[in-house]
Amino acid sequence: MRSLLLGLVACVFVSALVAAPPAVPHPEKLDAIGPRMQKFVDSDDLSGAVCVIGRKDGIVHESAVGFRDLAAKTHMQKDTLFRIASMTKPITAIGIMILADEGKLSPDDDVAKHLPEFTGQMLLGEKTADSVTLKKPSRPIKLRDLLTHTAGLANYPAGVNDVYTKRNRTLAETTLAVALQPLQFEPGTKWSYSNSSIDTLGRVIEVVSGMSYESFLQKRVFEPLGMTDTAFYPSKEQLARLAVTYGKDKAGKLIVAPNSLMDLPANPKHPIPAGGLISSGADLAKLYQMMLNKGELGGKRIISEKVVAEMTKVQTGDIKTGFVEGMGFGFGWAVVREPKGVTGMLSAGTFGHGGAFGTQGWIDPNQDLFCILLIQRTNLANGDASPMRQALQELAVEAIKK
């Protein structure tokens, strides 16, 4: 009995050691994150925030400040859920690259190889008051153009551009509507942020995999990583934990903003590959930890090391990209080419993505670091350059500096 008890104690001790978060040289900097975010709450810039900092070996900091719902005085919790909007885009790209790993497609494939409706797509030429000239582009668009926002796809036309609020059209229908419009510029020559490009990638996943887009990601990404609070169509329980979104009135006070992406009809048809997910800090930490570990987490490989390298290197050459200076673009990820301004404390090669409601997630392999900022604010001047993002990253980097 004594031996059995000693064995149990030893197992508990070993488990505790395994579960312990990795040490950082300056933990007091991590302790300062909550109070720093609280200042943004006190100044009426945010209702609340959840922050997560991690490394390859696990999370080193989690904090929640402020309120999930100001009117109800419901405090923000670490498991509060957020509309991550365009932070969905790199996850869609991961889905594409899973299929590339399996040899079912290549980033260099013409889009028309998988979606014939793009065959013979024309390029917008000269416009006059009475006419528009169309011409043949120098080459067809490729999957890599969609992945890097360099395809020149048009936005959704009138009558279809409400798909994000009504969810009443399928990916097949919206993709066809885009394919029937002329390209806005020669493929691969410019960068223009494109929701329709990423939604088209979602349709490619459906056609190549034989599964619905959302089912494919659930089976191949969310379930293997244990991302149980990441969903396109949240349950009632999950909606009850969703942070309220706020804008500002003319007096600078926070007011409730429309919750457009979550006002779901009875049978939604469009999961929005370009920005439809809700998620939590803990779930996103698993995804980013997997990327830091070159495609694997907990013995489960999602994508190969080769694919991680391809996704996270600059694929856009010298084309000016992104919403802050010094950026390039990989496959689905924005990539820091030259650290400056809000990225000044990060390394070249850091990759990540922001969302329309101020959320941010950035991964710095050189410093073995990821930073997640979850807020719900509309009409920030520039979410990618927000003072909240900069403050979080500065404290995180200071904490790990030796």
Q: Is the pTM of this model over 0.85?
A: yes
- Best CA proximity match to 234, nearest among 359, 84, 73: 84
Question: What's the pLDDT at 266?
Answer: 77
- Best CA proximity match to 66, nearest among 370, 374, 380, 378: 374
Instruction: Give, in order, the Cα–Cα distances in Å from 111 to each of 49, 144, 178.
Output: 39, 9, 12
- Best CA proximity match to 375, nearest among 52, 119, 11, 133: 52
- Best CA proximity match to 109, nearest among 207, 196, 220: 207
Count CB-CB contacts under 10 A for residue 135. 12
What is the rounded CA–CA span in Å between residue 282 and residue 52? 8
CATH number of 23-402: 3.40.710.10
pLDDT means over runs of 10, the chain (402 residues): 48 43 90 98 98 98 98 97 98 98 98 98 87 93 98 94 89 97 97 98 98 98 98 94 95 86 77 97 98 97 98 97 98 98 98 98 98 97 97 98 90
Question: What's the pLDDT at 261?
Answer: 57
What is the rounded CA–CA span in Å between residue 355 and residue 372? 12
Q: Sketch the domain layout of the chain as residue ranges.
A: 23-402
User: 269 phi and psi, to 5 degrees?
Assistant: -105, -20
Token readout for 242 is: 């969703």
